[in-house]
Structure 1
């Protein structure tokens, strides 16, 4: 782990996967014997069966359920919603029960989230040689592969997440933060290779794992995939041409963005992690659990336990402070990044849960996925968005929203 500066910008995936005992996301689904997943011929009058894709690891089951109403443009003088996106890097279930915990939290509060799945979390370690990371040896990765039981659990959680209405993005595959093989040195062609492999691991898990008793993932991943966050928050500039060519909608790899309304870069919405007020300090901290940790316990994820209560309060205050600064002033969207990890006794998981609860019941607040937010941005009047971008962090609209946006 590196870069423990006060404004550290390190975004890590799950640690080496681990734990014994799987806390699952309900049943991943049992497939019909001898069939690709649960795909079977419909009876007369039944809804047509999903269309199996490839080896049956995924299936086109139609429009995603549990989506918000079609977005509409802001009306003249209307107050913008306060958008908040909670996102998860790696998105693997390693037996600590965190993935199902936050799926339940989202259901309880009507929230949608974005899960940036690392493709190798669906590739058994015994098949790691199938992964050819750019400028690195075959099978290399700075994050661990999952045990078979963890791959199973992750499949169940990803399936449940999509059916609940969450977005499944990509965190690519292995993490390479330093050296000649760093993702910061990758070319657009390297990113294309990495994306193709991530898609392959998601769409061929049945072949790669040998699991025949699980339902397919209920989506066409190539169509589902519309955005990403790069490992270590590196390599965005080389990724963007590839993202644009693939028709992606957004990227969330830029570190240290301000709490302002976003712009497009290379035709892709730039939705960065943001600098938030850090309680007790004069500097700001990146809106990600690891970066808060880096400013609290420095070079360890197991700091002094006596500090956990104060650090938990500080982390919660960081998220809620950033929320209040936007909610009470320029209404810029708030983007928060997390990992399913129990760093420093799990205090960051507690902090993000308390923060979400503190935001969910406020008027005009929408807890959405990145893709849902991009949907809203796409239907807005460019002049209105330009007017919104004219507000600095913490700057309220002059004369109130009715006056300020009416001028657009």
Structure 2
């Protein structure tokens, strides 16, 4: 039986299933991404690969970018601020990768906040864009959600002002080196939702997400925004499903065959593997939950549900809950950093749940992580590039390490040719 609660997801009211978003805690149980320079206490990426400060980001577009379609997007060449991935040297300690990812990414003020945090950390993040956040409500009938009425949406619709603000964030985020993935469109969860979708349904949903981004100029009528500096059809290499549901058939969709990874579902703090179709598995992770005997999924919503079961919990508890959320992220970080060095995957939303304490917890945790040497704040795109640059035998050795287990004898002895 499913327990449903009212919640706010990406700024709109909706019913969320306890099962669908995995609200209950999980049961316990040139520079390079590899980094070769001297360690510094605040190093999070090699200096040559760090994005510039938000106030000093250079224009990376060529003088005459190639416009695509109606001019909503353009081809400006390779994405700037992408570190060159290289294989680990024999016996080299792997970096501690941290991926902060944002589901929806549809509020301009919060988008700005976390673009600036990424720049402060000399790193990047992944923003999983909900396609409907680029489509005005007046054009909602353009959306044909699988197995739902035309124009339907489980998360409502943004105002024109919010759509304008969201579109305005995408270009600067990409130019700073961040990744624009997808959170798909209508966010249909629970009974009758994406869990029932066929591979063809997912293909339709992906095609529409691409179309809304690639045709925002026609759909919105906005003339005061520049074209996005990327071709979304080429940029899009991964996503996360609504409520972490529907992954089985998503992976069978033909559009996904061109992707590199999927971050739906749940897992543990181990090194990523690939499915038979070649996609990398980078799911949400179970991390320690301070004060509890069980673990929690590494996402703000799951922590919130285990604390207050509502986005509007007791204000008197907010300081305690924020500290607990921050400490959960840091506990997951320490377990990996001092253990198997598996990438830490954290998922969040642009939401003011319990007055924004979870976004504050992310910021505090990230700054604390940045004080450790050999930490890299990266996007999923950059993480996958690093994984694909490694020797298969090295990856198998990394995957052989259990959660939180450092190699006996140290990395110099563990990661050497047999």
Q: Report TM bin, short chain.
A: 0.7 to 0.9
Return 396-405 or 80-89, whichever deviates more. Answer: 396-405
1:267 is paired with a residue of what secondary structure? coil
2:287 is paired with a residue of what secondary structure? strand
1:264 is paired with a residue of what secondary structure? coil
User: What does 1:296-335 correspond to in 2, within 5 Å?
Assistant: 296-298=307-309, 300-335=310-345
Q: Is the 8 A contact 2:91 2:414 kept in 1?
A: yes
Q: Does 1:358 align with 2:354?
A: no
Q: Does 1:271 align with 2:269?
A: no
Q: Is the 8 A contact 1:11 1:231 kept in 2?
A: no
Q: RMSD value over aligned CA atoms?
A: 2.0
Q: Does 1:214 align with 2:231?
A: no
Q: Is the 8 A contact 1:12 1:232 kept in 2?
A: no
2-structure distance, mates of 1:406, 1:269: 24
Cα shift at 1:104: 1.1
Please, which of 374, 379, 385 is the counterpart of residue 389 of structure 2? 379
Deviations 1:162-183 (A, max 9, x none): 1111000000001111222x10
Residue number in structure 2 paired with 1:90 = 104
2-structure distance, mates of 1:244, 1:119: 16
Residue number in structure 2 paired with 1:340 = 350
Cα shift at 1:361: 2.8
Cα shift at 1:213: 1.9
Q: 1:13 and 1:51, CA in 2 relative to 1: closer, same or farther beyond 3 A? A: farther
Cα shift at 1:243: 6.1
User: What does 1:19-168 correspond to in 2, within 5 Å?
Assistant: 48-68=63-83, 70-93=84-107, 97-168=109-180
- In structure 2, the gaps of 5 or more residues are 14-53, 56-60
2-structure distance, mates of 1:289, 1:344: 11
Cα shift at 1:15: 2.1
Q: Report the TM-score when normalising by structure 1.
A: 0.88
Q: Is the 8 A contact 2:250 2:256 kept in 1?
A: no
2-structure distance, mates of 1:321, 1:159: 34
2-structure distance, mates of 1:379, 1:92: 33
2-structure distance, mates of 1:12, 1:190: 25
Residue number in structure 2 paired with 1:404 = 414
1:246 is paired with a residue of what secondary structure? helix
Q: Which consecutive segments of 4 or more residues in structure 1 shift more than 4 A? A: 2-5, 10-13
2:253 is paired with a residue of what secondary structure? helix
Q: Is the 8 A contact 2:203 2:255 kept in 1?
A: no
2-structure distance, mates of 1:105, 1:394: 27
Q: Is the 8 A contact 1:251 1:270 kept in 2?
A: yes
Q: Report the TM-score when normalising by structure 2.
A: 0.86
What count of residue pairs does the alignment treat as equivalent?
371
Q: Is the 8 A contact 1:12 1:175 kept in 2?
A: no
Residue number in structure 2 paired with 1:205 = 216
Q: Is the 8 A contact 2:105 2:128 kept in 1?
A: yes
2-structure distance, mates of 1:11, 1:373: 32
Cα shift at 1:248: 0.3
User: What does 1:224-235 correspond to in 2, within 5 Å?
Assistant: 224-235=235-246
User: What does 1:284-299 correspond to in 2, within 5 Å?
Assistant: 284-298=295-309
Residue number in structure 2 paired with 1:34 = none
